[in-house]
């Protein structure tokens, strides 16, 4: 069982380019999340999905979009990357039926640099 996988591991991107970060989980969790982590700021939620077919905005959604066509996959797209989107991006999933089942499990992260 792989848990959650993310691709790519790292990427250097020119400003203005489009980029999709991939996330796949094999735990059949209903909820999935995208975070960015910047030094000193902790984890900030970008977008989330409580179940396949639905998505919601988190704390910092601007410049990002997501889709949830099925249970396993939750890609994050940067339509036109800007240097302020340089960060480490983590995908997470949870069973999300309340209480301790809301424990989130994280993928290994994607380190993105926008020049």
Partner 1 sequence: GQNIDQPTEMTATEGAIVQINCTYQTSGFNGLFWYQQHAGEAPTFLSYNVLDGLEEKGRFSSFLSRSKGYSYLLLKELQMKDSASYLCAVLDSNYQLIWGAGTKLIIKP
1 binds partner 1 per the rule CB under 8 A: no
Among 15, 54, 108, 115, binds partner 1 (CB under 8 A): 108
Count of residues that bind partner 1 according to CB under 8 A: 21
* Contact present, 31 and 25 (Cβ < 8 Å): no
Draw the binding track, 46-65, toward partner 1 (x: CB under 8 A; -: no contact): --x---------x-------
Measured CA to CA, the distance from residue 114 to residue 85 in angstroms comes to 7
* Contact present, 111 and 88 (Cβ < 8 Å): yes
Which single residue is written with the structure tokens 């290994």? Answer: 108
Nearer to partner 1, 14 or 99 (CB): 99
Residue ranges that bind partner 1, judged by CB under 8 A: 40-45, 48, 58, 90, 96, 98-100, 102-109
């Amino acid at each position: 069982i792989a848990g959650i996988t993310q691709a790519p591991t790292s990427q250097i991107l020119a400003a203005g380019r489009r980029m999709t970060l991939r996330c796949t989980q094999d735990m059949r969790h209903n909820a999935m999340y995208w975070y960015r982590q910047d030094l000193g700021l902790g984890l900030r939620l970008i977008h989330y999905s409580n179940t396949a077919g639905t998505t919601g905005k988190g704390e910092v959604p601007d410049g990002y979009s997501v889709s949830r066509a099925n249970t396993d996959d939750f890609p994050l797209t940067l339509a036109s990357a800007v240097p302020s989107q340089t960060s480490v991006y983590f995908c997470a999933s949870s069973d999300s039926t309340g209480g301790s089942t809301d424990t989130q499990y994280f993928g290994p992260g994607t380190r993105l640099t926008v020049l």
